Every structure is written in structure tokens, then in C-alpha cells.
């Protein structure tokens, strides 16, 4: 993150904007959802290394703000939903694309399959991620 901030500072003029958009690990809820109702079945387990990466990125940005290089204009969090038709499709996706970020324990997979199997036919499974978007304004440029 330190190198990315230096590069952003190099290419932006003073007053230029930097947008930081990323998921925040927060034991994302695993849910079954239909147009009629949503039900949380359980929560993912956050892995240690990505949590450390988030902390390091936050620390680098805090240092840049404290040094007067950047100012925070706006920060918001919002949910982002990933949907699958079946628990097996979700499991395949999580195992292939997110196994380095989160894990879903076997008892939760079992509970998800049970909740989905007993729900109405239009019910899908989903993961509710927590997203953060922050807008920073460059105050000083690299010389």
C-alpha cells in the first residue's frame, strides 16, 4: 500500500482524488434468500493474513493522512451480495476464488444445504460482503 500511495501521489496533482474501494473482512454472513425473506445461516471465518493486510493498508493510509499528504473527504460502508443457485455452486466459487481470504467450516455448509433444501424453490444462497469506499484528496505532491 505504501508503494501504491507513492505512485498515486506522483501521478495526481494536488487536490487530485484517490478512491479506495475494497471489501472489509467482517465474518461475512452466509444466507438463504428469496424475494419473500432472507435468513442468516451462519458466518464465514476470516483468515489471518488478509486481516493483517487490511491493517497494514489502514496504517499506511493513516500515516499518509497524519503527514499531511492526503485528506479523507468521504467514507461509507455498504453491503455487496454474491448469489448462487445452490450451496454446491457457492462452495465451488469460494474454494476456487476466496480460499485465501475466508473459510466456511463444514458445519456451516451442512446448515446451508439444509436451509436451502427446505426453502421455497426460488431461494438462492448468498454471501453478504461488507464493502468500504473512501475518497481521499491529495494535499501535497511528491517532489
d(CA 123, CA 5): 43
Q: For residue 36, what is the enclosing H or E element?
A: none
Distances (CA, A) of 37 to 51, 84, 124, 127: 31, 16, 11, 15
pLDDT at residue 59 tops 80: yes
Average of per-residue pLDDT across 88-110:
96
Average of per-residue pLDDT across 45-59:
89
Report pLDDT digits (tens) over 102-130.
999 999 999 999 999 999 999 999 999 99
- pLDDT of 140: 75
- pLDDT of 14: 84
Mean model confidence pLDDT for the chain: 93
Amino acid at each position: 500500500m505504501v508503494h501504491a500511495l507513492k505512485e498515486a501521489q506522483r501521478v495526481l496533482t494536488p487536490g487530485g482524488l484517490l478512491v479506495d474501494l475494497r471489501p472489509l473482512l467482517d465474518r461475512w454472513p452466509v444466507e438463504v434468500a428469496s424475494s419473500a425473506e432472507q435468513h442468516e445461516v451462519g458466518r464465514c471465518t476470516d483468515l489471518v493474513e488478509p486481516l493483517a493486510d487490511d491493517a497494514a493498508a489502514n496504517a499506511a493510509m493513516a500515516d499518509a493522512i497524519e503527514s499531511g499528504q492526503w485528506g479523507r473527504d468521504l467514507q461509507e460502508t455498504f453491503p455487496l451480495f454474491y448469489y448462487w443457485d445452490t450451496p454446491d455452486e457457492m462452495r465451488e466459487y469460494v474454494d476456487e476464488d476466496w480460499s485465501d481470504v475466508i473459510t466456511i467450516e463444514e458445519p456451516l455448509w451442512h446448515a446451508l444445504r439444509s436451509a436451502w433444501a427446505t426453502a421455497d424453490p426460488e431461494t438462492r444462497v448468498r454471501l453478504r460482503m461488507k464493502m468500504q469506499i473512501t475518497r481521499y484528496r491529495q494535499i501535497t505532491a511528491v517532489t
